[in-house]
Structure 1
Amino acid sequence: MNNPALDVTELRAALDGVVSGIEVVEATGSTNADLTAASAAGAPDRTVLVAELQNTGRGRLGRQWTSPPRVGLTFSVLLRPTEVPPHRLGWLPLLAGLSLLRTVRQLTSVDAALKWPNDLLVGPRGAKCAGLLAEVAGPGAVVLGIGLNVRTRAEELPEGVNATSLLAEGADLRRTDLLVALLRRLLADEAAWRAAAGDPEAVGLREDYRAACATIGSPVRIEQPGGTSTVATAVDVDTDGRLVIRDATGATRPVAAGDVVHLRAIP
């Protein structure tokens, strides 16, 4: 299958006034690492870097994120939400996941939902189609990295994991169009959240996220740093964006970090 390169001229024209600048490179190690370095050098708010191939990209919990060239969208956005108090910045990756979900629902008819905190699950199997990694990039600066499988064929998907792509689920999209729609949605949602000083209730972010998150109400296993795991039922997302779980005793507690596995039933 012939997959054309992203049209950077079209991207710049369509996103004029939306982003402060956008660059597309053929290959790099990590767009997040590159933008973090650019942030330290003074890159402006809403700078975007896209790579046709990322060869040392990282996902959450240090996992590697790889994709064949010119089939997915691998990009990072530098944000400087200085109006948002530090204790509310934890909502930014959840907001970005919701923006991604909204864009996919707008442009396709595939079943799509979020797994806490921001994995995009699509198709009847609820397979992972995208992931997001947010990293601090200096005082008042955050880099959001998104990896989305767009036109990856079934045989190109990684083995041994429940992964898919929009194309594999029947959605045939042009990557340039998708990236424009996604950045417009993400930056509009982030601007509204920023104007509300990051208050997730004031902009309806918490309510909308809860409605979109397939994890809430599901039996889950939480695999946490250090090798411990907990089986429980996910019942909510609190005001700080943490997943609230209920254990077998009926006690509830928030979880701030960990890898969530959806279970069919609690053993």
Structure 2
Amino acid sequence: MHADPATVTPPRLDAAALRHALVEVAGAPYASLDVVDEIGSTNAELLARAGDGAPDRSVLLAEYQASGRGRLGREWTAPPRTQVAVSILLRPGAVTPTLFGWLPLVTGLAVRDGLREAAGVDVTLKWPNDVLIEGRKLSGILAEMTTVPAAGDFRVRLPAVVVGVGINISLTHDQLPVPHATSLTLAGGSADRDAIARAVLEALALRHQQWRECERGSGSTISDELMATYTEACSTIGAEVRVELPGDIVRTGRAVRVDREGRLVVVPHEGGTSGEEFAVAAGDVTHVRGTGGRWGG
């Protein structure tokens, strides 16, 4: 007789193995890696550590987040050890501001890459920060920026960004934080949290490095390669969408592309033409379901 998966606590992450693979070997992609049993928010903790001098490419994972949060201040919590909850501190130096809009999008590509390798699932991306399986939310991304003193005697402050990722691994239907969410277990994927954490962190290191290298490219804008890769992976592009803009403004239309600043470009339905398209930098975007005229996640 098998135990009810809802009553079985998954094993702890193997912090020593993750640290050895990602920090301690020659050419390792990260400067430090910590795993804590419980914390309010991994993002909030790394933002505080950034102010105290934590190095570029510091990683913090938590078995349980008591105050996990998503975009637009939404709560995002789950039972202990049922997610991979990880934040990465990036201190990229003086990066062109237009590139920062692409950081959540590039992070989404990395999560997709890691899940393909370690979980055996194929996912799509929803602009700007969700990872979906069959239209349901599997993972969310939250990037938060602060400034930290520059090294040496210079009295200037440089940006530091904390990128947080939460991936639902073994949650049951009853444990899902929102009705339109899912987990790898429910989707038939692997629930090996150590393998998933390692693969996603390796993919994040690669994609974040590609993002940094754009600063040295022509015009300091996102590379054509990253732009094309994201366009192919993003299920929002080509979809009918409902956009809730600041100020309680709601518009509908068809998402046609993501521009050089990482904004979603939408052609409106309300009598608009392609010449009247608008770009969304901050807003809540919902995909329209394909049947019954219902709005989706």
TM-score (ref. length: structure 2): 0.85
Inter-partner Cα distance in structure 1 for 2:71 and 2:132: 15
Inter-partner Cα distance in structure 1 for 2:177 and 2:129: 20
Structure 2 unaligned segments of length 5 or more: list them.
Answer: 1-7, 148-157
2:127 matched residue in structure 1: 116
Q: Kindly provide the CA deviation profile for residues 19-47 of structure 1, in whole angstroms up to 9, marking residues without a partner as x.
A: 10011111111111100000000000000
Count of equivalent residues: 263
2:12 matched residue in structure 1: 5
Which of 159, 182, 188 in structure 2 is aligned with 1:164?
A: 182
| Residue identity in the other structure for 1:229 | V
Instruction: Tell whether the 8 Å contact from 1:76 to 1:146 is kept in structure 2 after alignment.
Output: yes
1:112 positional shift: 1.2
Alignment of 1:1-267 (within 5 A): 1-16=8-23, 17-82=28-93, 84-122=95-133, 124=134, 126-138=135-147, 139-159=158-178, 161-197=179-215, 199-202=221-224, 204-248=225-269, 249-250=272-273, 251-264=276-289
Structure 1 unaligned segments of length 5 or more: list them.
Answer: none
Tell me the SS of whatever aligns to 1:167.
helix
1:176 positional shift: 1.0
| Residue identity in the other structure for 2:250 | S
Q: Kindly provide the CA deviation profile for residues 77-96 of structure 1, in whole angstroms up to 9, marking residues without a partner as x.
A: 00011152122111111100
Inter-partner Cα distance in structure 1 for 2:21 and 2:78: 25
Inter-partner Cα distance in structure 1 for 2:38 and 2:105: 27
Instruction: Tell whether the 8 Å contact from 2:119 to 2:196 is kept in structure 1 after alignment.
Output: no
Instruction: Tell whether the 8 Å contact from 2:267 to 2:277 is kept in structure 1 after alignment.
Output: yes
1:253 positional shift: 1.3
Instruction: Tell whether the 8 Å contact from 1:234 to 1:246 is kept in structure 2 after alignment.
Output: yes
Q: Kindly provide the CA deviation profile for residues 63-88 of structure 1, in whole angstroms up to 9, marking residues without a partner as x.
A: 01101100101111000111521221
1:157 positional shift: 1.2
1:218 positional shift: 0.5
**RMSD in angstroms over aligned alpha carbons?**
1.6
Inter-partner Cα distance in structure 2 for 1:234 and 1:55: 35
1:215 positional shift: 0.4
Q: Kindly provide the CA deviation profile for residues 215-259 of structure 1, in whole angstroms up to 9, marking residues without a partner as x.
A: 000000011233221111100000100000001212211110111
Instruction: Tell whether the 8 Å contact from 1:83 to 1:195 is kept in structure 2 after alignment.
Output: no
Tell me the SS of whatever aligns to 2:105.
helix
Give aligned-pair identity as a percent. Answer: 44
TM-score (ref. length: structure 1): 0.94
Q: Kindly provide the CA deviation profile for residues 96-150 of structure 1, in whole angstroms up to 9, marking residues without a partner as x.
A: 011101111223443410000120001x3x1001101001021321000111101
